[in-house]
Structures are given as structure tokens and as C-alpha cells.
Amino acid sequence: MTTANKKLSSARLTQPTDKFVEEFTASVQFDQRMFRQDIRGSIAHATMLAEVKVLTIEERDQIIAGLQQIEQEIESGDFEWSIAQEDVHMNIEARLIALIGEVGKKLHTGRSRNDQVATDVRLYLRDMIDPIGQQLNRLQEALLNVAEREADTIMPGFTHLQTAQPVTFGHHMMAWYEMLVRDAERLEDCAKRVNSLPLGAAALAGTTFPIDREMTASLLGFDRICLNSLDAVSDRDFAIEFNSFASILMMHLSRFSEELIIWSSAQFDFVDLGDAFCTGSSIMPQKKNPDVPELIRGKTSRVYGNMFNLLTLMKNQPLAYNKDNQEDKEPLFDTIDTLLGSLRVYADMMSVITVKADNMRQAALRGYATATDLADYLVRKGTPFRDAHEVVGLSVAYGIKHKKDLSELTLEELQQFSANIEQDVFEVLTLEGSVAARNHLGGTAPEQVKAAIQKARRQR
């Protein structure tokens, strides 16, 4: 990174920029990652300018050849980035002029850095949405595989982190899957608003040149055009919306992580995450720490911070473009990187998770998880629900006192609380009977879990 280049935009100024100010205001240190998008946008712009006779065919070809050479230089590591040129856009343009001379100075005709950067950011985010969607899809596939494998595995379901009712582990994984379905829908919807072309808005009012924005949009694969030049250069709603999607998705991953951390503890011992996704302790040799879920839980706050960063950045900006908007990229880039990494490692981790079915079953037996089933049984026998609720409460208290699960009580013990209880009660007090009885759309019965998995696979 050098500071030796002469600025392309310094003619108006009578004094050179202070060296510290130059470094302080530069963004090339982080926005250079958009070089491919910047070059792609410039090639499309030059192609359009030639079509409307602002450039000659020869000038267009010189510019495109120069831009392609610059792309090769950057990819090979031979490009010299300059802080003096402030950002990725001016660095590339300065190098183009150095390569092809006066013709390179014509590239910026009919555009401004304001609409140029807005286009580059949209192109970059659009390019990143696809790999994010792919990693999200990988995680969904991993969850479906676990759910299918564990469709009959019984575990305690919790409310308030207290044993509530028995469910299957497969059903629990499908709950996670449904959360990710909504995330995928949000990403797809967000992509529609990302894919709108600002190029052609110029600085804020449009341009006097006879540009063809429809052609530029087609060349760059944009579905629509930003219809107001003021809005086009100053809009960052798409970045905020993406960060909102990312925040919700990371919240889901954080919730998943919390459960995995609890389940992998010695007190629960429901799952093993695999050694590749854990670390040991520097002092306690017996430890196996769930670092990946813990770190993702921590990174969630980072993505939340990026969203509020962008919201705060935009909240008091008058139209149109302001230098404040240079600050939009680092939180957006950080969210993209964090999301890609988190999804990738989660999909890898869930692909090798080990489920300890016996431990789950024993835990479900310890918490009187079939109490609601007993209440439902009594209601079907003609007992009013509130009376049934009281009967079950007394039965549970009796079981606690005598250290017996409801399924371990004798018929005589149960009948002391209600004469409506008969021998067939034991069909509903087993864990298997409990989950099988919830055989309806969205229920935890293994039959329904398998049907949900099949439906999910058909819709993918």
C-alpha cells in the first residue's frame, strides 16, 4: 500500500491532503475486495457508452482490455494499491490511465463515484448471497439427515428448561429446520431488493449524457433499475435488510448452540459433538469444551452490532450521498464473513454429531413427561379437564414421594386418585405411547416426523 500516487480528484484543492487525513479517510484497505465487481461494472458502463456513441468502439475495446489486465494484476498480487487514491474505484481508474493513457480518462463519463460505489456494493452482496444460500442449504440437509436417522429417538421436550413432554430428537431437529426455512425465504426476498441498479444516477441528479440504463442493467444482470437518482445513490436499505436477515439467522444458530452446549454437558450427556469441533483445557486434562457453538453464540452479538451500526449510520443522513456511507462496508463485509463461516462450520458439525439415545430416554423417564397424557386419558374417560389436572398433580406428587415414574405406579396406586383410571392407562403412560399418540400434522409422532422430512426433501 503506497501513498505516492497523484489524486485523480484533487484539482479543486489548493493544498495537499494532510497525510493522516489521507489515511483516515481512505477505504481502499477494506473495499479492495470489491475489485471484481468494480471492474465488471466499469466494463458494462464502457460497453453502454460505446453503444450510445459517447465512446468509440476502439476506445471501448482499449478500456475493456485495460480493465481485464488490471483484474489479472490484482488476482496475481502484482497490483500496487495506493492510499492516496482513497478507494478501490480510484485505484483501478488511476491504473487504467497509466496503462492506456488519455482514453482511460473517458471511462468515468456519465457516472460518479456515488453511483459507482452503490453499484459495486450491490454487486458484491449479490455475489455473496449465493454462497450464503449454499451453506444454509448444506445445514438444512445435515439437519434432515439427523432427523431421519433419529426419527424414533425419544428425548424430553422442555419448557422453561424443565421436562415437559416426550418428543423425538428427529422432531426437535425438524423444528430447527423450519427456522432455517424462514431464513432462506428472507434471504431470497432480500435478494430481490439487492438486485436493483443504481448506476446512471451519477452524483445525485442523473447525467446529461444519453445513457441507456436498461442496457447496463441487462449487462450486469440486474432485475430492475433504481427509479430515483437521489434515492439510488443514498439508499442502503438493502444492506440493512441483509443484516436484519443475518441477525435473525444468527439468533437461530445461537439458540441451536445453546442447546448443543447444554446437551453436550456431563449433566445432560445427550450428544457428542465430535473432537474436531471442540477443544481441551490448558489446565484440566479431562475437559472437552464445545468451542464452536460457544463462539457462534458469541459471534451473534457481533452481527447484531453490525445491524445497529448500519441503522445508526443512516438515521440522520440528509439526501443524497454523504461521506458517512463509506462506513457501510466494514459492517456489511464482516456480517458476510461471519455468516459464511458460521454456516459452514455448523453444517460440518451437524453432519458428524452423535446422539446418545439411551441417555435421552432415561432423562425423559425422570421428569414425569407423560403427565399430560394421563390428563388427556382422564378427559377421554369423562373427567372434566380441571379435575383431571388435579388428579394428575396428586399422582405426580405421590410418584415423587415414592420415587416412581407414573408408568411405574400400579393400577391400584393410580386408582386412589380417580376411579376412571383403568388397565388401559398404561398404554398412554409409556414414552413410546406418548409420542405415537401425537400423530397429526406437525406432531412429534415418528410417522409425522418422517412425513415432514419427505415433504421437506420434495420442496428442496
Could you tell me where the DSSP H helices lie in 352-425? 357-366, 371-380, 385-402, 411-415
Together in a domain, 206 and 321: yes
Same domain, 210 and 292: yes
Q: Return the half-sphere exposure (C-beta side, CA atoms, 13 A cut-off) of residue 264.
A: 23
**Domain-terminating residue out of 308, 335, 361:** 361
**What is the residue range of 408's domain?**
371-429
4 within some domain: no
Which secondary structure element, helix H or strand E, spans residue 225, and what is its range?
A: strand 224-225
Query: Is residue 460 domain-resident?
Result: no
Examine the domain organization and report whether 298 and 394 are in the same domain: no
Based on the domain organization, do 257 and 272 belong to the same domain?
yes
Asked if residue 178 and residue 78 are part of one domain, the reply reads no
Q: What is the pTM of this model?
A: 0.92
Q: 218, 281, 301, 440: which one is catalytic?
A: 281
Residue 279 shares a structural domain with residue 136: yes
Those residues with Cβ within 8 angstroms of residue 376's Cβ, 6 or more apart along the chain or in another chain: 388, 428, 437
Residue 201 within a domain = yes
Torsion angle, CA of 424/430/433/435, rounded to 10 degrees? Answer: 150
Residue ranges of alpha helices (H) inside 222-328 are 229-234, 237-263, 291-314
H helix intervals, 169-284 = 169-194, 213-220, 229-234, 237-263
Cross-strand bridge partners of residue 150: none
Task: Give the dihedral sign, CA 7/10/13/17.
Answer: negative
**Tell me, what's the pLDDT at 22?**
85
Half-sphere exposure of 156 (CA within 13 A, CB side): 24
Q: How far is CA 399 from CA 156, 163, 304, in A?
A: 18, 15, 46
Instruction: CATH number of the domain at 409, please.
Output: 1.10.40.30
Provide the residue-wise pLDDT of the chain in tens; the chain has 460 residues: 665 556 666 555 566 778 888 888 899 999 999 999 999 999 999 999 999 999 999 999 999 999 999 999 999 999 999 999 999 999 999 999 999 999 999 999 999 999 999 999 999 999 999 999 999 999 999 999 999 999 999 999 999 999 999 999 999 999 999 999 999 999 999 999 999 999 999 999 999 999 999 999 999 999 999 999 999 999 999 999 999 999 999 999 999 999 999 999 999 999 999 999 988 878 887 778 999 999 999 999 999 999 999 999 999 999 999 999 999 999 999 999 999 999 999 999 999 999 999 999 999 988 889 999 999 999 999 999 999 999 999 999 999 999 998 989 999 999 999 999 999 999 889 999 999 999 999 999 999 999 999 999 999 8
Please tell me the predicted confidence (pLDDT) of residue 115.
Answer: 98
Of 109, 143, 177, the residue that ends a domain is 109
Is 108 labeled as catalytic in the residue annotation? no
Total tally of structural domains belonging to the chain: 3
Same structural domain for residues 292 and 351? yes
Question: What is the domain-level CATH number for residue 274?
Answer: 1.20.200.10
| 36 and 125 assigned to the same domain | no
Residue 7 lies in a domain: no
203 preceded by a cis bond (ω within 30 of 0): no
Q: Is residue 412 part of a domain?
A: yes
Same domain for 100 and 50: yes
123 located within any domain: yes
Both 153 and 69 in a single domain? no
Question: Does the active-site annotation cover 45?
Answer: no
pLDDT at 341: 98
- Out of 62, 77, 109, pick the residue that ends a domain: 109
Give the model's pLDDT for residue 311.
98
Tell me: do 357 and 381 sit in the same domain.
no
Residue 13 lies in a domain: no
Report the CATH number that the domain containing residue 84 is assigned in CATH.
1.10.275.10
Q: Are residues 147 and 257 in the same domain?
A: yes
Whole-number pLDDT of residue 252? 98
Q: Which three cell numbers stand for residue 403?
A: 420415587
Whether 445 is covered by a domain: the verdict is no
